[in-house]
């Protein structure tokens, strides 16, 4: 919707029922060769994430979180929908 002023690290977290992170991955888009601050507004971007749920993890359901943060401050990019922060930003994996 608008250009961003910095290159963000993108992440995926998988959380168990107690909201502990059991799997995660963070990436610089395209290995840092195409950072978020050069993306064109409205440009479709596809990134792949590979997460492994530990063999000893309790059965699901699991919650996953996707987001972006700036480094080194670790400040997260806020989630908005229609200019508002949605109350429930959770998705559940079974």
Tell me, what's the pLDDT at 36?
Answer: 93
Over the stretch 56-80, which tens digit does the pLDDT of each residue have?
999 889 998 888 999 888 888 877 6
Over the stretch 11-56, which tens digit does the pLDDT of each residue have?
999 999 999 999 999 999 999 999 999 999 999 999 998 999 999 9
Peptide bond into 61 cis (omega under 30): yes
d(CA 77, CA 79): 7
Tell me, what's the pLDDT at 71?
Answer: 84
Tell me, what's the pLDDT at 30?
Answer: 94
């Amino acid at each position: 919707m608008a250009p961003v002023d910095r290159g963000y690290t993108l992440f995926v977290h998988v959380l168990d029922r107690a909201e502990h992170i059991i799997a995660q991955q963070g990436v610089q888009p395209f290995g840092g060769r195409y950072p978020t601050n050069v993306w064109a507004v409205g440009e479709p971007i596809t990134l792949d994430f590979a997460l492994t749920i530990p063999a000893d993890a309790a059965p699901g359901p699991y919650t996953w979180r996707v987001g972006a943060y700036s480094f080194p401050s670790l400040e997260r990019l806020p989630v908005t929908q229609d200019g508002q922060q949605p109350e429930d930003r959770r998705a559940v994996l079974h």
